[in-house]
Amino acid sequence: MKTMIGQPLDRVDGRDKVTGKARYAAEFRIDGLAHAAWVTSPVAAGRIEQLDLSTARAAPGVIAAIGSGDAPVLPYREREEPAPVDPEWGTPLRVFQDDKVRFAGQPVAVVVAETPQQARHAASLVKLRITPDQAHTVFDRAEPRPSHGKDDDDNPGVESRGDAEGALGTSPVTVECFSAIAREQQHPIEPHATIARWQDGKLTLWDKTQWVSNVRTEIAHVFGLEEEDIRVVSPFVGGAFGSALRTWPHVAVAALAAKVADRPVRLELERRSMFTATGFRPRSQQTVRLGAESDGRLMAISHDVVTQTSRYEDYTESLTEPARTTYACANVWTRERVVSLNTNTPCPMRAPGIVTGVHAMETAMDELAEKLGMDPVDLRRINHAERNEDDDLPWSSKELLACYDTGAERFGWSSRSPEPGSMRDGDQRIGYGMATSIYHAKRSSASVGAVLLANGTAVVRTATSDMGPGTYTSMTQVAADVLGLPPEAITFELGDTRYPQAPVHGGSITMASVGSAVRAACQGLAEKLMKAAREASSGAFAGLDADQVELREGYMTRSDGEARQRLADVLRDMGQDQIACEASAEPGEESENYASSAFGAIFAEVRVDPAVGRVRVARLVGAYDVGRVINPKIARSQCIGGMVGGLGMALFEQVEWDERLGRVMNANLAEYLVPVCADVGELDVTFVPSDDTIFNPLGAKGLAEVAICGVAPAIANAVYHAIGQRVRELPITPDRMLAMRS
């Protein structure tokens, strides 16, 4: 049987999803289920003076109403240290525990009723009066400061090597590039939802989450429970893009409402609430200064960043990491600061921080190439980093130069006319742009259980999630490959805290982490089975050495081909109805001795109509180094999704913020624009040969995040090439294009 790894297998969960068999968080059918709707603050800062729930409690169908001032006091035990997905400093929102309003959209009460309609109607009857306080809502007026989470540093937020300022002063060629990116919002098809049920002091949560174990830990601290008294179930996630990494307040509200109502309760967020109940990609302003020799070799990099956070937590991202790792440069200085606003706390959004920092760095590199009169690809080649100079470690693998070669050839980069504004098609101006893509590759410890059943099928379980990248399918392929079974003989189960622990499903770590554990568990299972057959007193495999027996095509087979037996028959002859193995995988010395990253090169063609300021992306070509590709069909899908996300970042997505009221003005899918099919041109994805077995046994690197990195700057650089003027703020909208003409 040919290896399953590397095959374009259809999604094993595809049929369940298109037929409606797959159950998402809000869709579980629980006996006695009641429904919740919450009440939120309309102002950005203040104190609750009145919260009258009496009319709501008297409304038809209402079971309970809870609000700030009369809610049960919850323990909210402090965690020894924040979860890796939580901010390093601050206190998460503690629902209904005080009268302070921190942002518009903060939940202040919840109503539980027999039907969703009754709950929403009763919530509208709550009488709320808030005495406003001064709200800090204007990004440009706030004073940037180091994050409180970095107070222990001598120079908080600053990292450096060499003497960047001195090198800038002596560089023959310098550029200074300012860029700003609007606040963006995740918009998964499935809104966030939680069903909570208490039974005999134990709590079950059906929740939309990218990390069931973290939900269990967080809610245990909120309610003062032992973790073993909480079960979290999340078999399917309808997209998340980072929005479901944290355990947000609605989960605690659902659990509290169920406890008070003494009924199972479902709380499902409306689309508008998605802008304030969960996080977002924070607004940023960045200044990059580059110094170079006349031949283009970088002498200095300076990258200064300011991003927004809330006033009750400090959320920070690694925007400056690309400046320190992408190119070879002896003198690098970076600084990250935050401004505190009366808003909900930001959170990771696909390729958090890195995609933002890559945009600033790659825009500056394009400006440097223009000033030097160099081809942008040649400039990047000259500054190729043979090792990670930030950590002073060799790369575990790197095929970025091959990405440049492959991407440029597939795109037809050699036909680019260097002069900005020189390529035209009638009234349209054509622009070619490119950018480097980079995203660190990491892995965490994970555990997996595997069981071979008497009928010759296997069940593999772990508490990871699948928010859409194909976890069910890719893990099935790894298990099938190791056990020598066809994919249809493997059942992969995930998303339940009763299963062996798994790390967060984010940061492009799942295949490297969980996949390695699947491989280890299935190898252990196979070895256990073959050892038992070899040590049996009789049978076709009795007395053979380990290298004389293998599993292939659903059979245990002698390597000399003299005998083979179905696995079900092997178990029967052993007198067992199943055999099981649990194993773990974790990073080893390689994480200390090597740096690992996924890489890519993105090429974009845009067509600009200068009369109306319209930009259309005709083509995107991405060549990626992501290590060994487990499933090329799913991998291509991931990259296409990343490209479309990058297109949205470049041309469409922005939260419209009312600075007077501290409120989101376009909290819906009608006015928060995302790319639709008509906006997407030709998308070409290719993977250069790569196999990073230093990083992990599977040889795979992260994929999801690297796909979006570099797309926005490639488009922005193409716009500059088309018109000879650079738009400094994303998204590049028609009004910003037309403003440059005045």
Say what the pLDDT of residue 538 is: 85
DSSP-assigned letters across all residues of 464-501: ---SSS-HHHHHHHHHHHHHT--GGGEEEE-SBTTSPP
Helix locations, 234-328, DSSP H: 249-261, 274-277, 321-325
Say what the pLDDT of residue 330 is: 98
Q: Low-confidence residues of the chain, pLDDT below 70? A: 1-2, 151-152, 742
Say what the pLDDT of residue 740 is: 85
Model confidence, pTM: 0.97
Q: Which CATH number fits domain 444-586: 3.30.365.10, 3.40.50.720, 3.90.800.10, 3.10.450.50?
A: 3.30.365.10
pLDDT tens digits for 354-405? Answer: 999 999 999 999 999 999 999 999 999 999 999 999 999 999 999 999 999 9
Say what the pLDDT of residue 151 is: 63
State how far the Cα of 2 lies from the Cα of 149, in Å rounded to an integer. 51
Please calculate the CA angle 446-448-454 and round it to the nearest 5 degrees: 175
Three-class DSSP category at 284 = strand
Active site residue 705: yes
Please calculate the CA angle 353-355-358 and round it to the nearest 5 degrees: 105
Say what the pLDDT of residue 537 is: 81
Say what the pLDDT of residue 149 is: 77
25-134+189-239+244-277 sits in which CATH class? alpha beta
pLDDT tens digits for 464-513? Answer: 999 999 999 999 999 999 999 999 999 999 999 999 999 999 999 999 99
Q: Torsion angle of alpha carbons 362, 366, 367, 368, nearest 10°? A: 100
Domains 25-134+189-239+244-277 and 444-586 belong to one CATH topology: no
**Fold (topology level) of 284-442+592-739:** Aldehyde Oxidoreductase; domain 4 (3.30.365)
Say what the pLDDT of residue 296 is: 98
Say what the pLDDT of residue 308 is: 98
- Break the chain into its structural domains and give their ranges: 25-134+189-239+244-277, 284-442+592-739, 444-586
Give, in order, the Cα–Cα distances in Å from 722 to each of 32, 86, 186, 413, 495: 61, 42, 30, 14, 47
Say what the pLDDT of residue 256 is: 98
Q: Please say whether the beta carbons of 256 and 95 come within 8 A.
A: yes
Q: Which of 190, 367, 653, 705 is catalytic?
A: 705
Q: Please say whether the beta carbons of 460 and 521 come within 8 A.
A: yes
